[in-house]
Amino acid sequence: MPAHAGEKAQKTGVFHCAKCSEKISVKEGEKIPKCPNGHTEFDSRTQEPGNK
């Protein structure tokens, strides 16, 4: 399920931009920022490194 900048992250993880594949690390409950290139849609999320 895609996520968008401005939404609150439902889980901690690394969000992958749908347009340019930049990665943004966001903690649960924080607002998802735009990617460094200004895009607002993220198509996948992977777990934060070190979290199990």
Give the pTM. Answer: 0.83
Residue 47: per-residue pLDDT: 83
pLDDT value of position 12: 94
pLDDT at 21: 93
The pLDDT averaged over each successive group of 10 residues in the chain (52 residues) is 92 96 96 98 83 46
* DSSP states along 1-52: --EETTSBPSS-EEEEETTT--EEEE-TTSBPPPPTTS--EEEEEEPPTT--
* pLDDT at site 51: 47
